[in-house]
Structure 1
Amino acid sequence: MRVDTGISYPYVSQRQQALSADHSVATSFSAPLTAPQAGATNQNNFTSMTRQEMRDWVNTQISSGEMSLDDSRPFMAMTMKISVDSLGGEMPAESDATRYDFTQKIRDGIEGAQSRNDETTLKMLESAMQIIQRSQGQATRVDVRA
């Protein structure tokens, strides 16, 4: 059975991943499920995350349909780092190993929006806080090869 038959992939990388994956479907459900090996699960920890980890998490949420593009706006804004030295150019997230507390960034943003009476930003950040509170500690992926 080909899983990707009739499916349109908006990104070339998705199609390549689908083509390289094993498309067979198990027909027997009698085999017991085994728990992942200890340490094989990464968990969301928004209190200590790099900008790239946050971007990867957001992209996964969007591609899985669990987050809309509108809901992703505050997260993407928090992952930007503008360099004064490069005259306002963004510093690449991939090369930044600094860990940030994104929950605190959202709290600070909420406080700022309240002080400015900015209802639009306040609602957006409160929604972002609810999203990460639901996702905190959840498994991000399971490494089945371990």
Structure 2
Amino acid sequence: MKIDTATGHLYASRSVQSSTTARVNPASFSAALTAAAAGVSESVAQGTRQADFTSMTRQEMQDWSNDQIRSGKMSLDEGRPFMAMSMKMPVVGGTGGGLQASSDGERLDFMQKVRAGIEGALSRNDDITRQMLESAMKIMQQSQGETIGVDTRA
């Protein structure tokens, strides 16, 4: 049985070349392939973002934790401390609740915040909070530096 791909609608715009007419110099092909790979890896490196819990906005934390939950990499229970970290509560009393994460561009060290939370839980003998924060710390350490998105503002 012979399948003619030149007549299919997917390949209609392709031209068919004889295998005897298309000769490729292996050295120039290798050089071209290496240059193309370097260009792709450079553009990927420039256009991607990595998780950096030592310098992240509340909105970035919220986006990261939502992505982890949506993708099934993290359960809702595991995501609870990350959602709490992404909220900003006013110091002065008020009935308006927390401030929106998207309106705050401050970069925070969430690793340090979790370490301080663990210390606080230890001083209060709060094993439940300590365990929850230790779990969050483990997740952050495992996820530190992972690609979390592509920067489309290039």
Q: Secondary structure at the match of 1:130?
A: helix
Residue type at the aligned position of 1:74:
P
Unpaired runs of at least 5, structure 2? 1-35
- Tell me the CA shift for residue 69 of structure 1: 0.2
Alignment of structure 1 residues 128-139 onto 2, 5 Å: 128-139=136-147
1:96 aligned onto 2:113: no
- Gap change, CA 1:55 and 1:117, over 3 Å in 2: same
User: Hey, which bits of structure 1, 4+ residues long, moved more than 4 A?
Assistant: 143-146
Q: Quick check: 1:44–1:136 contact (8 Å CA) kept in 2?
A: yes
- 1:116 corresponds, among 94, 112, 124, to 124
Deviations 1:22-43 (A, max 9, x none): xxxxxxxxxx985361411101
Q: Hey, what's the Cα distance between the residues in 2 that align with 1:68 and 1:60?
A: 11
Instruction: Normalising by structure 2, report the TM-score.
Output: 0.68
- 2:71 corresponds, among 64, 89, 96, to 64
Q: Secondary structure at the match of 1:76?
A: helix
Alignment of structure 1 residues 69-84 onto 2, 5 Å: 69-83=76-90, 84=92
Instruction: Normalising by structure 1, report the TM-score.
Output: 0.71
Which structure would you say has the larger Rg? 2
Number of equivalences? 115
* Bigger helix share: 2
Deviations 1:66-122 (A, max 9, x none): 000000111111111122264352111111001110000000000001111111111
Residue 17 of structure 1: aligned partner: none
Unpaired runs of at least 5, structure 1? 1-31
- Tell me the CA shift for residue 142 of structure 1: 3.6
Q: Hey, what's the Cα distance between the residues in 1 that align with 2:103 and 2:127?
A: 35
